[in-house]
Structure 1
Amino acid sequence: MPFLGSELEYCLRTLLERVVKSETLENANTPLKLVALDLKETDILLPADSVGVGFKIKRVLKSSSASPKDFIQLKMEARNFVVAMVKKLQEKSPLNSKLVRNINWMIP
């Protein structure tokens, strides 16, 4: 249980790095602020051409006959998927619990 809060925070932060602007993540420096981030605000999200999809996807798309429009569409769909996943994690996350957020003192 002591590692649950820090691991969940790491997972959320890693997912959000792909779709949220860096200054927004810097301001969300606590687990509670991460859970409270409102992803319905499109001004905190990265534009479609800046969304991180990973080097493997980029390499596969460059070697395929996909047009740049298809690549942007894929990035938009990836962003929408990650945003939906993070919203569900925020909703169901134990990080909403004070116990999970404050139990870090037990980590050896």
Structure 2
Amino acid sequence: MTPGEVLLSPKALTLQWQDSGTVLDAGVLRAHCRCADCRAAALRGRPAAVVAGIELTGLVPLGHYAVQLQFSDGHERGIYPWPYLRQLAGLQDVTGVQSRP
């Protein structure tokens, strides 16, 4: 499912789905990056340390399936497919996104 509206602010990514709206915090998005480097670090037990006050600095659409997010710490390799963002939203609503999906 593709969101109808995508809004980027320094603190959050806001997605308007057909049935609901989601606001995902920049820190949550950075902590849950799925790029190869971040996943490898997490598998080694060394997940990326998210800098307090991290901000979103850019967004690049990738077709109709995902976005690539850019962060104030210079990280810009993560690709966030729409289903993954929706999954993060569900976890954030239930648990505050404490675990990696």
Q: TM-score range by the shorter chain?
A: under 0.3
Higher helix content, 1 or 2? 1
Higher-RCO chain (CA-CA 8 Å, sequence separation at least 6) = 1
Larger CA Rg, structure 1 vs 2: 1
Higher share of residues assigned strand = 2
TM-score (structure 1 length as normaliser): 0.24
